[in-house]
A = this chain, B = another copy of it.
Amino acid sequence: MREVAIIGIGQTPVDEHWDKSLRELAGEAILKALQDAQREEVDALYVGNMMSGILTQQENLGALIADWAGLRYIEAVKVEAACSSGAAAVRQALMAVSSGLIDSAIAVGVEKMTDEKGTEITAALATAADADYETAHGVTFVGLNALIMQRYMYEYGWKHADFAPFSINSHLNAMTNPNARLHEIISEKDYASAKMISYPINLLDASPIGDGAAAVLIVPKDSLKPNHKPMITIAGSAAASDTVAVHDRKDPLWLKAAEISSRKAYQQAGVTPQDIDFFELHDAFSIMAVLSLEACGFADRGQGPRLGLDGIISRSGKLPIATLGGLKARGHPVGATGVYQIVESVLQLRGEAAENQLSKAQIAMTQNIGGSGSNIITHIIKREDR
């Protein structure tokens, strides 16, 4: 296997981009990544996207976006793994370059959601759940996560207020991220009194949707000069799946696919959870942040909320998470999210995160979750100083 480096990154703000089409958003992120790498060409394009067929009546995104971005004739396909489509596209780019069949690849994640009505978006998001055994009975995607959170609170005795630090941290970190969807400090009181969506998940437990695109350019590490700076490499990459229907899991409070994919990624990278400097996790709902931290070995089972209450997750804490706002406040343009996580990690590793810059950023971990834990993809990204 050839080792790979990320030499270019690009992103659009996450917003309601009513003036830009899906292909325009993706093209913008791709061109920024090419400019960032000072390249004009690339051999392949992998598009992470979940809902373009349903929301914009457009499939065949690979060819569509390649052409729009001036990359006509290259290999170009779409990868879908529900909300983890972005990281799945990055992983496909990684495998393409690792295999030696492709010498440079861009993974772009893109989602265009806000042109549609809320009910249509809710229906489209529900295609990440089991159509025959969950959705058919009327449960929404938020509803499924609410059931998990209820059970978690019952099982381990936490109160709703104990989850507040996750949302407060994400909102705080997004304040100084110009690409974030929300720029609004929230307090414990705001969190406690936010509008209920599906008990116990209220508006400030849930990440906002949005339109956006993010891209990374991947090449073989050995194609770069040894003194290439900054040298950002993907040291670990793994994916695992679980049942789509939550009721099919023996233990719905344990993200088995997070455990498996993080363990594999740690092994590949030769690190342990203690070595991770920061963690861009999938805080689509505050309960998902908690379950991710536990399954990846950062907290004991049932003790995830403790990391928020003890300040460990803040930018000055031992394990900063959502350092540029996370899904909760940077926003969750579904198929793009996994690529945003990696772009943000590269910004931190390069020391280019401006006001959000962490003091220690040598080894990053990202984790993108599809469905209610049915697809989980973990990456470990390193800055190599030589």
Residues of B within 8 A of A128 (CB): 59-60
Q: How many copies does the complex hold?
A: 2
Chain A 242-268 per-residue mask, 1 if CB under 8 angstroms from chain B, else 0: 111000100000001100100000000
Q: Please list the residues of chain A having a beta carbon within 8 angstroms of any beta carbon in chain B.
A: 1-2, 21, 44, 50-51, 53-54, 56-64, 66-67, 72-82, 88, 92, 94-96, 98-102, 123-124, 126-132, 135, 237-244, 248, 256-257, 260, 370-371, 374-375
Residues of B within 8 A of A374 (CB): 60, 63-64
Query: What would 17 A/B residue contacts be, using CB atoms closer than 8 Å?
Result: A44-B239, A57-B127, A59-B128, A60-B129, A60-B244, A60-B371, A60-B374, A62-B241, A64-B130, A67-B243, A73-B240, A73-B242, A74-B240, A75-B241, A78-B80, A80-B80, A92-B95
Residues of B within 8 A of A132 (CB): 21, 58
Q: Is the CB of A53 within 8 A of B54?
A: yes
List the B residue with the shortest CB-CB distance to A52: B127
Given A75-B241, A374-B60: A95 in contact with B88 (beta carbons within 8 A): no
List the B residue with the shortest CB-CB distance to A97: B99
- The distance from the CB of A237 to the nearest CB of chain B, in whole angstroms, is 7
A96, B64: Cα distance in complex, Å: 24
Residues of B within 8 A of A100 (CB): 1, 98-99
Residues of B within 8 A of A82 (CB): 59-60, 63
Residues of B within 8 A of A92 (CB): 77, 79, 92, 95
User: Ordered nearest first, which 9 A-B pairs have the shortest CB separation?
Assistant: A98-B99, A1-B100, A63-B374, A99-B99, A75-B239, A60-B82, A58-B131, A63-B241, A59-B127
- The distance from the CB of A123 to the nearest CB of chain B, in whole angstroms, is 8
- The distance from the CB of A101 to the nearest CB of chain B, in whole angstroms, is 6
Residues of B within 8 A of A241 (CB): 62-63, 66-67, 72-76
Given A63-B242, A95-B99, A127-B60: A81 in contact with B80 (beta carbons within 8 A): no
Q: Is the CB of A56 within 8 A of B99?
A: no
Known: A53-B127, A77-B92. 10 other contacts (CB 8 A): A21-B132, A51-B53, A53-B53, A59-B128, A60-B81, A60-B244, A60-B370, A63-B242, A72-B241, A101-B237
A104, B120: Cα distance in complex, Å: 39
Residues of B within 8 A of A123 (CB): 57
Residues of B within 8 A of A77 (CB): 79-81, 88, 92, 239, 375
Residues of B within 8 A of A75 (CB): 238-241
List the B residue with the shortest CB-CB distance to A256: B73
Residues of B within 8 A of A131 (CB): 56-58
List the B residue with the shortest CB-CB distance to A259: B73
Q: Is the CB of A79 within 8 A of B76?
A: no
List the B residue with the shortest CB-CB distance to A81: B77
Residues of B within 8 A of A67 (CB): 241-244, 248
Residues of B within 8 A of A238 (CB): 75
- The distance from the CB of A267 to the nearest CB of chain B, in whole angstroms, is 12
Residues of B within 8 A of A88 (CB): 77
A302, B110: Cα distance in complex, Å: 40
Residue of B129, B248, B375 near A62 (CB, 8 A) is B375
- The distance from the CB of A127 to the nearest CB of chain B, in whole angstroms, is 4
Residues of B within 8 A of A62 (CB): 80-81, 241, 375
- The distance from the CB of A266 to the nearest CB of chain B, in whole angstroms, is 15
A101, B244: Cα distance in complex, Å: 24
Q: Is the CB of B1 within 8 A of A60?
A: no
Given A51-B59, A72-B241, A127-B58: A1 in contact with B99 (beta carbons within 8 A): yes
